[in-house]
Structure 1
Amino acid sequence: MDFAYDARTVELREKLLAFMDEHVYPAEAVAEEQRARLASPWDTPPVVEELKAEAKRQGLWNLFLPDAEYGAGLTNLQYAPLAEITGRSPQLAPTALNCAAPDTGNMELLAQFGDEAQKKQWLEPLLAGEIRSAFAMTEPEVASSDATNIETRIRRDGDEYVVDGRKWYISGAMNPGCKIFIVMGKTDPDGTDLRRQQSMILVPRDTPGVEVRRAMQVYGYEDHYHGGHAEVIFDGVRVPAANIVGEEGGGFAIAQARLGPGRIHHCMRLIGMAERAVELMCRRAVSRTAFGKTLAQQGVVQNWIADARVTIEQLRLLVLKTAWLMDTVGNRGAHTEIQAIKIATPRAVVDIIDKAVQAHGAGGVSQDFPLAELWAAARTLKLADGPDEVHQRSLARRELKKYL
């Protein structure tokens, strides 16, 4: 692969870096001030809508979607360095560009598997940034790392489906702008093929029987800008049969298709989070004195900084290789690399951010710096989109096949 950025990537990188400096970083403090005055903590601060309008004006919109009919038409390799930049301000930048999870994965899912009516009703307003969405898969009563365990029922009743189940950590569901849930459940719980028991169905938020019960915390954070992570109850929820996505029994395959790009997007942004942490660590190191020397002159801190730079460069190369493979041989051909980055990136970035926290002392765990929240987000990604151990299990099996 060619590691040089092509002309379009260079142009978009320069434009996005300027957008971050001129609009996003200054908006971080403004958003916090505005949030304190909102009627509900889940409402969107006005400055976020201003950022979205400016991003649209500059053509920095829907960069994640490779389908040129709906998005920017960028390859994964072109999008990777742009997603990395947005990771430097993960609360604001992805949302400002309409490139925030879970909406990105939901838009990809609808673009690939939705019918024309579903695209018209839900994909178009999502692409326009007019509404938000949620993906309801994880459940509290089962080990959701094995998706075949899911207990939510989707039962056919004439021209309707009836949905019953309990989900939690449903990202984005606390946001009042979240208008649609993509729900995964079982239409054939007794089927012999465990991977054909599940289906996906569209459930509008205002459907009777849908209850967004409470916000789930993540290491004490409620993740307001992301739209929170909710516990959601579906109690006898009736929706038209036309709301099924794809076909009955296709839910597991659709979920795998959705999660592949999502995993690389998370890893791209994680590298940006690591870069922000190193920048903060270096600024702190040259400005603070302990035992007669600046932190930058202390050998242990120098080691942290050097190790962080080596690790980030390694991770970036692996993510770029993965993006290139996804573009050239498809997600299946890049399966090993997708799992490798999903294992390696959160693990390493957690350590880098942790060292930056340590360099800041008490400030590192405070609200005065973004490090504690960055750490919580990175640590959570060792679970999200499949825990490390599931990816390790699958990756090891693929390696061992060569010798059996």
Structure 2
Amino acid sequence: MDFQYTDKMKELVLQVREFINTEIRPVEARFRDELAANPWETPPVMDELKAKARAKGLWNLFLPKEYGDYSAGLSNLEYAPLAEEMGRSLIASEVFNCAAPDTGNMEVLAKYGNEQQKQQWLEPLLEGKIRSAFAMTEPEVASSDATNIETRIERDGDDYVINGRKFYISGAMRKSCEILIVMGKTDPDNPNRHVQQSQVLVPTNTPGVKIVRPMKVFGYDDAPEGHAEVIFDNVRVPKENIILGEGRGFEIAQGRLGPGRIHHCMRLIGAAQEAFELMAKRVNERQVFGQPMSKQGSVREDLAKSWCEIEQARLLTLKAADMMDREGNKVAKDLIAMIKVVAPNMALNVIDRAIQVHGAVGVSQDTPLAHFFSYARSLRLADGPDQVHMMQLGRTLAKQFA
């Protein structure tokens, strides 16, 4: 394995880094001010930044080569350092149209959608004109086991009728969120629990779609996208809105989550790197007990441990991305599971140390550290909790060495 960045990757990393430093960081305060005035509206400055990024060709970088005309032509391995750079800013991913949950939804439509679905929903998502959400998690069941989902999708003539309750539906609070991909059961009595589910496209303005409230994460509402509780009350959509066909929902979910999981890990490495650099700067600037903090043995150990942990996670991420490119997502599933466990825990450790050396300011709004910590902690649950990934990985290992 050769993880040396190619000249192409190096150039793109420099372009993304320069754009973040010269275009995004100077207007982050403006973004927050505009957001405070209209929490669920996309701040105007975001639209300005997206237009600049698209004009520079820094757009839809996440879609791998196999998606043809929809793709920026990058492999997963080539995208990894770019996502890492984006992860260093709380808003950069959206600027480059590389933000979850839209990335996963675009991959679903590109891979599984029919031509009409692509034209109606994928193309405006790729152009950054609309936003989307993926509605799977439910409050009444253990949604880490997707076969538990209880939302019903029932055929009624030329329509499907949807009834159920979802929550923590990321992106659904945003007013520009126009489409939901909803997972529910079309055949709940099928003895094969993995073909009971289907996924269907539901426009957010469909009668019966009720956005109940934003769900917070450690007190953050994560506006403008938010995490909504949504009720589907006799929601009726045309039968043509089913994706791939009845009984294919679990299959689609597995295909969607692989790339999404590793994208989160790539961004988390960027967040951890940003936290590390803030920590390293802080310990050189602050005086404690008559000398710089950097002279304290415990501080030096924290710096060293953090550097080791970031590099370990980065290398595992690159290995998983390389395997996805060479062998496919299914073959790489164990490596994806490994990094999905490793990266959030690594980021939590590094960010926590950075918070500690910052003192009170580390938990304030004056640095991104508290928000980074909230994001990293939620990712020990999102796209499958640690325990599920370790259970499946352990099962594979037990069989392998039996």
With the length of structure 1 as denominator, give the TM-score of the two structures.
0.98
Which residue number in structure 1 is paired with residue 157 of structure 2? 158
Classify 1:32/1:362 alpha carbon distance in 2 versus 1 (closer, same or farther; 3 Å). same
1:44-78 Cα deviation digits (max 9, x unpaired): 11111111011001100000011231120210000
Which residue number in structure 1 is paired with residue 323 of structure 2? 325
Q: Indicate the SS of the match to 1:239.
A: strand
Please, which moves more after superposition, 237-246 or 6-15? 6-15
1:241 to 232, 239, 247: 239
- For residues 162-181 of structure 1, the aligned pairs below 5 Å read 162-181=161-180
Letter in structure 1 aligned against 2:246: E
Which residue number in structure 1 is paired with residue 397 of structure 2? 399
Please, which moves more after superposition, 24-33 or 78-87? 24-33
- Give the whole-Å Cα distance in 1 for the aligned partners of 2:205 and 2:20: 36
Which residue number in structure 2 is paired with residue 364 of structure 1? 362
Which residue number in structure 2 is paired with residue 28 of structure 1? 28
Letter in structure 2 aligned against 1:82: L
- Give the whole-Å Cα distance in 2 for the aligned partners of 1:71 and 1:177: 23
Which residue number in structure 2 is paired with residue 74 of structure 1? 74
Deviation at residue 6 of structure 1 after TM alignment: 1.6
Deviation at residue 10 of structure 1 after TM alignment: 1.5
The percentage of aligned residue pairs carrying the same residue is 58
Q: Indicate the SS of the match to 1:245.
A: coil
Which residue number in structure 1 is paired with residue 107 of structure 2? 108
Letter in structure 2 aligned against 1:35: L
Which residue number in structure 1 is paired with residue 280 of structure 2? 282
- For residues 26-105 of structure 1, the aligned pairs below 5 Å read 26-36=26-36, 38=37, 40-66=38-64, 67-89=67-89, 91-105=90-104
Which residue number in structure 2 is paired with residue 383 of structure 1? 381
1:237-263 Cα deviation digits (max 9, x unpaired): 000000000010000000000000000
Which residue number in structure 2 is paired with residue 2 of structure 1? 2
Which residue number in structure 1 is paired with residue 204 of structure 2? 205
Question: How many residue pairs align between the two structures?
Answer: 400
- Give the whole-Å Cα distance in 2 for the aligned partners of 1:308 and 1:28: 27
Letter in structure 2 aligned against 1:265: H
Q: Indicate the SS of the match to 1:224.
A: coil
Letter in structure 2 aligned against 1:336: D
Deviation at residue 33 of structure 1 after TM alignment: 2.1
Q: Indicate the SS of the match to 2:330.
A: helix
1:267-290 Cα deviation digits (max 9, x unpaired): 000000000000110111111111
Which residue number in structure 1 is paired with residue 143 of structure 2? 144
Which residue number in structure 2 is paired with residue 193 of structure 1? 192
Deviation at residue 185 of structure 1 after TM alignment: 0.1
Letter in structure 2 aligned against 1:127: L
Letter in structure 2 aligned against 1:247: G
- Give the whole-Å Cα distance in 1 for the aligned partners of 2:165 and 2:34: 33
Q: Indicate the SS of the match to 2:153.
A: strand
Check conservation: 2:198, 2:246, Cα contact below 8 A: yes
Letter in structure 2 aligned against 1:138: T
- Give the whole-Å Cα distance in 1 for the aligned partners of 2:138 and 2:283: 43
Classify 1:358/1:245 alpha carbon distance in 2 versus 1 (closer, same or farther; 3 Å). same
Letter in structure 2 aligned against 1:270: L
1:310 aligns with 2:308: yes
1:152-187 Cα deviation digits (max 9, x unpaired): 000000000000000000000000000000000000
- Give the whole-Å Cα distance in 2 for the aligned partners of 1:325 and 1:265: 14
Letter in structure 2 aligned against 1:32: R
Which residue number in structure 2 is paired with residue 260 of structure 1? 258
Please, which moves more after superposition, 68-77 or 99-108? 68-77
Letter in structure 1 aligned against 2:5: Y
Check conservation: 2:105, 2:256, Cα contact below 8 A: yes
Letter in structure 1 aligned against 2:349: D
After superposing on structure 2, the runs of 4+ consecutive aligned residues of structure 1 that deviate more than 6 Å are: none
Letter in structure 1 aligned against 2:120: Q
- Give the whole-Å Cα distance in 2 for the aligned partners of 1:334 and 1:312: 21
- Give the whole-Å Cα distance in 2 for the aligned partners of 1:98 and 1:12: 15
Check conservation: 2:170, 2:228, Cα contact below 8 A: yes
Q: Indicate the SS of the match to 2:57.
A: coil
Unaligned runs of 5+ in 1: none
- Give the whole-Å Cα distance in 2 for the aligned partners of 1:190 and 1:399: 32
Letter in structure 2 aligned against 1:30: R
Which residue number in structure 1 is paired with residue 341 of structure 2? 343
